[in-house]
Structure 1
Amino acid sequence: MHADHSDGDDHYSDEEYDFGPSKTSKKKAMQALQDLGKELAQLRQEQLDELPISDRLKDALIDYQKFPSHEAKRRQLQYIGKLMRDVDEEELQPYLDKFREGSTTQTALHHSAERWREQLLSGGNEALTEFVDEHPGGDVQHLRHLIRNTQKDIEQNKNRGAAKKLYRYIRDMLEENA
């Protein structure tokens, strides 16, 4: 026999009880914080200093970079995720966007300087004239000297740093004219 509950208390509506977020949604939110923490852990010290974060979180991010072990890094990421609960993600977003944009810009500059170095080494006076026309303001004689030294190093199969000096000079010229 079934007991008859006619007072209506056996029908509960969801509005009467707030169960809060589900366990799955809590895990997803925590994972998102850990992912953001991992991205922050890739930043350099100067970039971390710019962020509006606590000293504890900054120290935890720096410690993460020092850990060699995968397991230690995993545990540290969990700790970082816990500390990230107190961080306003929207406040961090402009900083992260700036760092990402800067990284993309630096990568593009690096690739452009590498291409110009190869062109200047293999293209002769035509490539030099084209570079100087596109990027005025540099010392053409110094650039010729760097190209000659780099070519000499390549011919003699030596590495005296001429290629690096040429690259740096080209990169500086590209930055000035950007």
Structure 2
Amino acid sequence: MRFTSVAAAIGLTLLTVSTALQGQRPDDQIDPRSLALLEKGRSAQAAGNLQGATDLIETALAVDPRNRQAFIVLADIARAQDLDGKAIRLYREALLLEPNDIVALKGQGQALVAKGAVERAKENLVKIRKLCGAKACAEGTTLAAVIAKGPPPVTAAQVSPVNADTVAKN
């Protein structure tokens, strides 16, 4: 008698989990409408229309939020607009979908260096080198060069009024 209730509970749990898994699409099946919007966004980006590209790619993500390439392209656009914090977040979204995406790791590392987080960028470089194995890959070489160059210097225009007082005292 005691085992009957436990067996029934386990059976219901298995039934629930298997039903939920059957309703999900595999990660490699991105909605074709999302892919079409992504391509239109890439075309707009190539034409220099960054706002139009952003709108199209955000729509692609609304259609299918598992479109990892859309996150990467949006992050690239954010970096082109010097929005490195936004780019880091978008690359992180892509990496949540596929933690071993070398392009996203490289882009996030570059954005981290631009924000001054060189140590975190080095962690990305270690991951890239581990994924590439014995062969050298372009992404690892590019990120290593960006890390070696270091973050961009802070100009007087970028110093906030609060920090300006501190800088003036020193």
Give me the TM-score of the superposition, normalised by structure 1.
0.25
Larger radius of gyration: 1
Give me the TM-score of the superposition, normalised by structure 2.
0.26
- Larger relative CO (CA 8 A, sep 6+): 1 or 2? 1
